[in-house]
Structure 1
Amino acid sequence: MEKDIITLQDLFLFEQKGVGDKGRILGSFHPSGVLPKFMPELEAKGVNVPIKVFSETGGEVI
């Protein structure tokens, strides 16, 4: 948040691969490479999320 303006950044992006037989969208989510600013808050509450989840090159399948 900058002053009174809320700013958002994508943590994951959806890459559409096509459309299935029944009209269902096919694709997968990939990390954008942006590390969330709330990571320290999660860690302080005992929630440990591996940073590689948010890495463009080392992201895990979600």
Structure 2
Amino acid sequence: MRGPLHALWNMRLLGTYLRFRVALVLAGVLAIIGGVLALGIGGLGGLVALFGIVALLLLALGFIVITR
């Protein structure tokens, strides 16, 4: 048995809601990290560092989707 969370995750309405909440939390964390990084480094270097973090996260997400 996979457990109750797995069953809830695969339900159409509740699973969609849970995925949406997880996406919002991840977007919020990324926005906070990006803001701190851009303000801390400042200028063009902050934007390049923020782009690098976003690119790495998207590559990791793509790798997870491909291997799944």
TM-score (norm 2): 0.21
- The higher radius of gyration belongs to 2
The structure richer in strand per residue is 1
Higher relative contact order (CA 8 A, sep 6+): 1
TM-score (norm 1): 0.22
